[in-house]
């Protein structure tokens, strides 16, 4: 009997803990608990579980908007870029009868179906940081793809002093209709390098993010294309892998790298002169606007089909400024 009583007490403690987790948030600046009484909406946002500083900042922004608007924001972390995991997370959100869903698409086919399922269930959906392709009738929040491409082109011209043969690495979007493929980032890059006659995009390489083969692809680029002297990475997780291959091949100084994102290794390699620079999305703003836009959508307000956020660029010259965006203890 004594053990049964103890078990009941333990269950009660766990239930109380779950209720506190649901109805309590935290003030990111003061660390004080903020009680959500009768939240207006319950949103489920699919995020990632890795060491990319993008995600803590994204969650901070989303949580801040949730606290401001009295919305319970729940995050579902997935381990890697697998569209099937997003599909399952959306199924879970629909079964939970949430009021809104947001996710970052990693392919064309399954991500589109996931968005369709949400809308068919009567649940508003928003996608964020979408660089796959245009999904009709689904609003998007994120950094300006054209600006990212154009900035990468300008950085390429700067580091190479106007003489570069570029290999661009992009993620494989899966099955897609070429008429809908999101090539805005590529267009920005091409527009930028068109101003420099001796800066050319030699080839675009696609990478299946589920295969984890960025090292093999980079090795292939450098051995089969001796004229390539600059690599542009469009994905934050792949950037450190490209740099590591350049180090292993003893090509630091011969091969310039322009990365994306602010993975700890990326920032370290910039300091060491392996990577010239990187382009970083304002993930706090993206997280905040994702929740704010979804709230407006749920309340029947008309929102922008595309809401762009800012970007930052970091090279050795200004990498110290990164701490103004992400504190030392987060990278």
How much is the pLDDT for 21? 40
Of the candidates 328, 280, 264, the residue with the CA atom closest to the CA atom of residue 52: 264
Intra-chain end-to-end CA distance of the chain, in Å = 51
Question: Mind listing the pLDDT tens digit for each residue in 23-55?
Answer: 334 344 433 334 457 899 999 999 998 889 999
Contact indicator for 225, 167 with CB cutoff of 8 Å: yes
Provide the 10 A C-beta neighbour count for residue 29: 8
Confidence at residue 51, expressed as pLDDT on a 0 to 100 scale:
86
Distance CA 98, CA 106 (A): 22
Residues 129, 43 share a domain:
yes
Instruction: Kindly state whether residues 162 and 258 are assigned to the same domain.
Output: yes
Each residue's pLDDT tens digit, 214-234: 899 999 999 999 999 999 998
DSSP result, 140-166: EEEE-HHHHHHHHHHHHHHHTTT-EEE
Q: Are 30 and 138 members of one domain?
A: yes
- Neighbour tally for 61: CB within 10 Å: 23
CATH code of the domain containing 299 = 3.40.50.2300
Q: In terms of domains, do 58 and 137 share one? A: yes
Alpha-carbon gap, residue 269 to 321, rounded angstroms: 16
> Percent of the chain scored above 90 by pLDDT?
68
Q: Residue 79 pLDDT more than 60?
A: yes
**Domain carrying residue 221:** 145-281+315-330
Distance from C-alpha of 282 to C-alpha of 312, rounded to nearest angstrom: 7
Neighbours of 207 (CB within 10 A): 21
The total number of structural domains in the chain stands at: 2
Phi-psi region of 44 (alpha: psi -120 to 50; beta: other; left: phi over 0): beta
Strand 311-315 versus strand 277-281 pairing type = antiparallel
Token digits for 23? 């109805």
Residue with tokens 């792949």: 238
**Which helix or strand (DSSP H or E) is residue 90 part of?**
helix 83-95
- The DSSP annotation for 190-208 comes to HHHHTT-TTEEEEEEEEE-
Higher pLDDT, 59 or 182: 59
Does one domain contain both 23 and 135? yes
pLDDT at 81: 84
Would you say 101 and 118 are in contact if contact means Cβ atoms under 8 Å apart?
Answer: yes
Same domain, 25 and 128: yes
Based on the domain organization, do 185 and 258 belong to the same domain? yes
The number of beta carbons lying within 10 Å of the beta carbon of residue 39 is 17
Same domain, residue pair 163 and 115 = no
One domain, residues 246 and 293 = no
Give the pLDDT confidence of 273-312 residue by residue, as tens digits. Answer: 999 999 999 999 999 999 999 999 999 999 989 999 999 9
- Same domain (yes/no): 117, 204: no
Q: Phi/psi at 268 (nearest 5 deg)? A: -65, -45
Closest to 131 measured CA to CA, from 37, 235, 22, 57: 235
pTM, whole model, 2 decimals?
Answer: 0.84
Residues 6 or more apart whose CB falls under 8 angstroms from that of 115 comprise 105, 125, 127, 135, 138
Phi, psi of 100 (to 5 degrees): -160, 150
User: How far is the C-alpha of 288 from the C-alpha of 57, rounded, in Å?
Assistant: 10
Please indicate, yes or no, whether residues 75 and 24 belong to a single structural domain of this protein: yes
Same-domain check for residues 149 and 138: no
pLDDT for 176 equals 52
Confidence of residue 173 (pLDDT cuts 50, 70, 90): low
């Amino acid at each position: 009997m004594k053990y049964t009583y103890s078990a009941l007490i333990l269950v009660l403690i766990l239930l109380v803990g779950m209720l506190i987790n649901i109805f309590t948030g935290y003030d990111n600046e003061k660390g004080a608990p903020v009680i959500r009484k009768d939240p207006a909406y319950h949103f489920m946002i699919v995020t990632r579980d890795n060491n990319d500083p993008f995600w803590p900042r994204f969650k901070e922004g989303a949580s801040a908007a949730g606290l401001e608007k009295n919305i319970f924001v729940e995050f579902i972390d997935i381990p890697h870029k697998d569209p099937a995991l997003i599909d399952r997370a959306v199924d879970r959100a629909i079964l939970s009868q949430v009021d809104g869903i947001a996710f970052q698409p990693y392919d064309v086919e399954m991500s589109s179906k996931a968005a369709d399922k949400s809308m068919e269930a009567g649940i508003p959906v928003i996608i964020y940081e979408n660089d796959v392709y245009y999904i009709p009738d689904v609003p998007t929040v994120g950094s300006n793809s054209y600006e990212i491409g154009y900035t990468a082109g300008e950085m390429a011209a700067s580091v190479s002093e106007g003489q570069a043969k570029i290999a661009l690495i992009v993620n494989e979007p899966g099955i897609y209709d070429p008429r809908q493929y999101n090539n805005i980032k590529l267009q920005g890059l091409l527009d930028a390098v068109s101003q420099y006659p001796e800066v050319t995009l030699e080839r675009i390489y696609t990478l299946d993010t589920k295969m984890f083969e960025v090292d093999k692809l980079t090795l292939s680029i450098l051995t089969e294309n001796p004229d390539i002297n600059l690599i542009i990475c469009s994905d934050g997780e792949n950037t450190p892998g490209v740099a590591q291959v350049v180090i292993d091949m003893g090509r630091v100084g011969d091969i310039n790298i322009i990365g994306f994102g602010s993975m700890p290794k990326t920032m370290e390699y910039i300091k060491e002169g392996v990577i010239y620079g990187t382009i970083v999305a304002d993930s706090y703003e993206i997280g905040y606007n994702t929740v704010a836009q979804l709230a407006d959508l749920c309340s029947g307000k008309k929102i922008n089909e595309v809401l762009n956020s800012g970007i930052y660029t970091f090279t050795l010259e200004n990498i110290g400024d990164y701490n103004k965006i992400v504190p030392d203890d987060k990278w």
